[in-house]
C-alpha cells in the first residue's frame, strides 16, 4: 500500500463562476475536478467555539474538505510531520490522501465544513486511537 505524507495534501482551486451582482457558484464534478469520484457528501456545522472535530485517520478514504461557509483549520499529521491548512474560501478544497491523521479546529461562528468522500461510510475504515495510528504508519 502506498504511504502518503502531509506533503501529499494540497489545496485544490475549484471552479468558480462569477456573477457581478448575483454572487458566485462553484462546481465539483466527478471525473473533472478531483482525483477520485465522490460517493458521499456530508457536512459539519453548529460546532461550538473552542471544540475540535476529526481526531482520526482513514485507512482508504480520500476526501476533499471545503469551508462552505466561515473558516476552520485542518491539522494534517503523518506520524512524523504536521501541516496546518486554514480554510476560509468556498472555492478552495483541501485534498486529503488516505492514511493520515486529521484534527479540525478553530471553527468560526457559522462555519460549515463540507466533506466530499470517495467511499460510503465504513466504520472499519477509521483509526481513532493515536497509538494505533502510529503503529499503522510503521506497518
Enzyme catalytic residues: 56
Rounded CA separation 21/16 (Å): 15
Minimum distance between the CB of residue 124 and ligand TYD, rounded to whole angstroms? 12
Minimum distance between the CB of residue 17 and ligand TYD, rounded to whole angstroms? 28
Looking at beta carbons only, is 54 or 70 nearer to ligand TYD? 54
Are 73 and 65 spatial neighbours (Cβ–Cβ below 8 Å)?
A: no
Rounded CA separation 47/32 (Å): 31
Looking at beta carbons only, is 17 or 86 nearer to ligand TYD? 86
Using CB under 6 A as the criterion, which residues of the chain lie in contact with ligand TYD when the complex forms? 40, 42, 44, 53-54, 56, 121
Minimum distance between the CB of residue 44 and ligand TYD, rounded to whole angstroms? 5
Are 99 and 4 spatial neighbours (Cβ–Cβ below 8 Å)?
A: yes
Minimum distance between the CB of residue 40 and ligand TYD, rounded to whole angstroms? 6
Looking at beta carbons only, is 86 or 121 nearer to ligand TYD? 121
Cα dihedral 125, 128, 129, 134 sign: positive
- Buried (b) or exposed (e) across 65-74, using 16+ Cβ within 10 A? bbbbebbbbb
Burial of 124 (0-12, 13-18, 19+ CB in 10 A): exposed
Looking at beta carbons only, is 86 or 126 nearer to ligand TYD? 126
Amino acid at each position: 500500500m502506498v504511504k502518503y505524507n502531509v506533503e501529499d495534501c494540497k489545496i485544490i482551486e475549484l471552479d468558480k463562476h462569477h456573477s457581478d451582482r448575483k454572487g458566485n457558484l462553484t462546481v465539483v464534478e466527478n471525473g473533472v475536478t478531483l482525483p477520485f469520484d465522490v460517493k458521499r457528501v456530508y457536512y459539519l456545522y453548529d460546532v461550538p467555539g473552542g471544540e475540535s472535530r476529526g481526531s482520526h485517520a482513514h485507512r482508504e478514504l480520500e476526501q476533499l474538505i471545503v469551508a462552505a461557509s466561515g473558516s476552520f483549520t485542518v491539522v494534517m499529521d503523518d506520524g512524523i510531520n504536521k501541516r496546518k491548512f486554514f480554510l476560509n474560501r468556498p472555492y478552495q478544497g483541501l485534498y486529503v490522501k488516505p492514511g493520515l491523521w486529521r484534527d479540525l479546529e478553530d471553527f468560526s461562528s457559522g462555519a460549515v465544513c463540507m466533506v466530499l468522500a470517495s467511499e460510503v461510510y465504513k466504520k472499519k475504515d477509521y483509526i481513532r486511537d493515536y497509538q494505533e495510528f502510529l503503529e499503522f504508519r510503521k506497518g
